[in-house]
Amino acid sequence: MPNHPATLFSIATGSAEPIYRQLVEQVRRLAAGGQLQPGDDMPSVREIAQALAVNPMTVSKAYGLLEMEGVLQRRRGMGMVVAGQGLQAPSADRAELLRPTLERAAREARQLELDPDTVLHLFATILKEAP
Amino acid sequence: MNTVGTPIVRLSSVAKRFGEHAVLDGLDWQILPGQIVGLLGRNGAGKSTLLECMLGLRELDRGSVTLFGEDVAALSEAARARIGYVPQKTDLFDWLTPDQLLDYFKAMYPRWNDAKVEGLLGRWGFGARLRRTPVKRLSGGEQQRLAIIRALAHDPDLLVLDEPVSALDPLGRRDFLRELVDGVIERGTTVVFSTHILSDLERVAFDLAFLKEGRIVLQGQADALLENEKVSLEDLFIRTTRDAASEVAP
């Protein structure tokens, strides 16, 4: 069971998406994509709060929601672990998780009056770039 | 850290005017134990006046303020020792060196955390030479860091910060936020702070309050306010604090 560092997460301020929501989305994506495997230990609330310099209550709120959704599981005395049976979500479900981010990008593309081909080409290029 | 119980700060119908100008105008505000509240408002909205009235540093024209359930005008020594305050401008005792200044304040507080003070001085760049330099010869950022160390030194239960990071560079601000997260919020300290640096506020303030025209016009959990309005904090600030007069008709 690998230990994931608190640097697993990154947040952006100045967004209409509150920080706790950003954390929830990131865990969902990482779990759906298999980077977070069932049984993996999650960093503690305090570690994440320290690493990101955010209020621990915000991190707790994100973990609480993820626990309710069944993405994470609270282990007595051991903190949070990734829940699940080790099955990666079907690719269609995983793609759906990308929707909010892409909707935002689409909105900005329309504001910039870019045509769809240019935007799709750019996205294809970005996908092929190193992580 | 639960926000339950009786308010730690309670302002009722507070009014304060300077000459013709009503800065606070029948303001009501309550802060619960453990809350981390960001106070927002335009320049000149009266945030500093509000914080000063809250701490009993200014006489009220009307209304009342209680801290820890006590009338602020007759606050006990015990209650006073539970408060930490970083004013916007710190020009007090600037002929003293940081070491002398901290020794002076240490004598006034029964609960003074020497280990915390030494740790912060070390982490925040106060070497032997700086600690023996008169405060008035320190940079604005160094003076502000010292004021923050002084306010945190006695592990206050209520911490009031008026633009605490205005003179700090991004790294200094991040150090300060980390200290808030690890050394202050973790202890369950109630924190009220004003700042124009919204990204900092977004990171640490769980609750927000907007001051406009002498009253708290909007308050609530930061996340809920953003989600209800579907806007960024910057847009929420502009929307909430804009004068009706300056609004352009659609």
User: Would residue B250 count as lying in a domain?
Assistant: no
Instruction: Select the residue of A17, A18, A53 nearest B178 (Cβ to Cβ).
Output: A53
Helix (H) or strand (E) holding B103: helix B98-106
User: Would residue B2 count as lying in a domain?
Assistant: no
Q: CATH number of the domain at B200, please.
A: 3.40.50.300
CA atoms within a 13 Å half-sphere pointing along the CA-CB vector of B196: 13
What local confidence, expressed as pLDDT, does residue A131 receive? 63
Q: In what order do the strands lie in the sheet with B215-221?
A: B83-86, B158-162, B190-194, B36-40, B207-212, B215-221
pLDDT for A87 beyond 80: no
- Write the ipTM: 0.82
Task: Give dist(CA B209, CA B19) in Å, integer.
Answer: 26
| pLDDT digits 0-9 by tens, B177-234 | 999 998 899 889 999 999 988 999 999 999 999 999 999 999 999 999 998 888 999 9
Show residues of chain B in contact with A13, CB under 8 Å.
198-199, 202-203, 233
| pLDDT digits 0-9 by tens, B7-51 | 999 999 999 999 999 999 999 999 999 999 999 999 989 999 999
Using the Cβ of B203 and the Cβ atoms of chain A, whether some distance falls under 8 Å is answered with yes
Helix (H) or strand (E) holding A82: strand A79-82
pLDDT for B101 beyond 70: yes
What local confidence, expressed as pLDDT, does residue B183 receive? 86
Task: Give dist(CA A31, CA B221) in Å, integer.
Answer: 28
- Full residue range of the structural domain in which residue B129 is found: 9-241
Do B232 and A15 count as a contact with CB atoms less than 8 A apart?
A: yes
User: Would residue B249 count as lying in a domain?
Assistant: no
Using the Cβ of B72 and the Cβ atoms of chain A, whether some distance falls under 8 Å is answered with no
CA atoms within a 13 Å half-sphere pointing along the CA-CB vector of B152: 25
User: Would residue B58 count as lying in a domain?
Assistant: yes
Q: Judging by beta carbons within 10 Å of its beta carbon (0-12, 13-18, 19+), is residue A88 exposed, middle or buried?
A: middle
Closest CA to B47 of B161, B140, B146: B161
For the residues B96-107, what does the mean pLDDT come to? Answer: 95
Residue A129 or A53, more confident? A53
Number of domains in chain B: 1
Using the Cβ of B32 and the Cβ atoms of chain A, whether some distance falls under 8 Å is answered with no
Instruction: Select the residue of A14, A17, A55 nearest B206 (Cβ to Cβ).
Output: A55
Closest CA to B105 of B123, B80, B124, B126: B80
Using the Cβ of B238 and the Cβ atoms of chain A, whether some distance falls under 8 Å is answered with no
Query: Collapsing DSSP states into helix, strand and coil, what is residue B233?
Result: helix
* Chain-centroid distance, C-alpha A89: 15
Task: Work out the pLDDT band at A76, boundaries 50, 70, 90.
Answer: confident
What distance in Å separates residue B91's CA from the closest CA in chain A?
Answer: 29
Which residue is associated with the tokens 């069944």? Answer: A70
Q: What is the mean pLDDT of chain B?
A: 91
User: Would residue B190 count as lying in a domain?
Assistant: yes
- Per DSSP (E only), the strands in B1-101 are 9-18, 21-31, 36-40, 62-67, 70-71, 83-86
Show residues of chain A in contact with B206, CB under 8 Å.
55, 57-58
Which residue is associated with the tokens 């070497």? Answer: B127
Show residues of chain B in contact with A14, CB under 8 Å.
198-199, 202, 232-234
User: Would residue B246 count as lying in a domain?
Assistant: no
What distance in Å separates residue A119's CA from the closest CA in chain B?
Answer: 25
Q: Which residues contact A5 (CB under 8 A, 6 or more apart)?
A: A43, A51
Task: Work out the pLDDT band at B249, boundaries 50, 70, 90.
Answer: very low
Do A14 and B199 count as a contact with CB atoms less than 8 A apart?
A: yes
Using the Cβ of B118 and the Cβ atoms of chain A, whether some distance falls under 8 Å is answered with no
Task: Give dist(CA B47, CA B49) in Å, integer.
Answer: 5
Task: Give dist(CA A120, CA B182) in Å, integer.
Answer: 44
What local confidence, expressed as pLDDT, does residue B250 receive? 46
Task: Give dist(CA B46, CA B25) in Å, integer.
Answer: 11
User: Would residue B248 count as lying in a domain?
Assistant: no
pLDDT for B4 beyond 70: no
Which residue in chain B has the smallest CA separation from A50? B178
pLDDT for A108 beyond 80: yes
Do A55 and B227 count as a contact with CB atoms less than 8 A apart?
A: no
User: Contact, B112 vs B152, CB < 8 A?
Assistant: no
Using the Cβ of B235 and the Cβ atoms of chain A, whether some distance falls under 8 Å is answered with yes
Task: Work out the pLDDT band at B2, boundaries 50, 70, 90.
Answer: very low
User: Would residue B236 count as lying in a domain?
Assistant: yes
Q: Which residues pair with B25 in a beta bridge?
A: B15
Give the DSSP per-residue string, B153-201.
TT--SEEEEESTTTT--HHHHHHHHHHIIIIIGGGT-EEEEE-S-HHHH
What local confidence, expressed as pLDDT, does residue B3 receive? 44
Residue A27 zone, left/alpha/beta (φ > 0; ψ -120 to 50; rest): alpha
CA dist B182 → A130, B44, B125, B235 (Å): 35, 32, 19, 29
Residue B20 or A98, more confident? B20
pLDDT for A86 beyond 50: no
Using the Cβ of B202 and the Cβ atoms of chain A, whether some distance falls under 8 Å is answered with yes
pLDDT for A130 beyond 80: no
Do A54 and B182 count as a contact with CB atoms less than 8 A apart?
A: no
Closest CA to B183 of A101, A50, A95: A50
Do B227 and A19 count as a contact with CB atoms less than 8 A apart?
A: no
Most confident segment among A23-37, B47-61, B183-197: B47-61
Do A54 and B204 count as a contact with CB atoms less than 8 A apart?
A: yes
What local confidence, expressed as pLDDT, does residue B59 receive? 94
Which residue in chain B has the smallest CA separation from A47? B182
pLDDT for B165 beyond 90: no
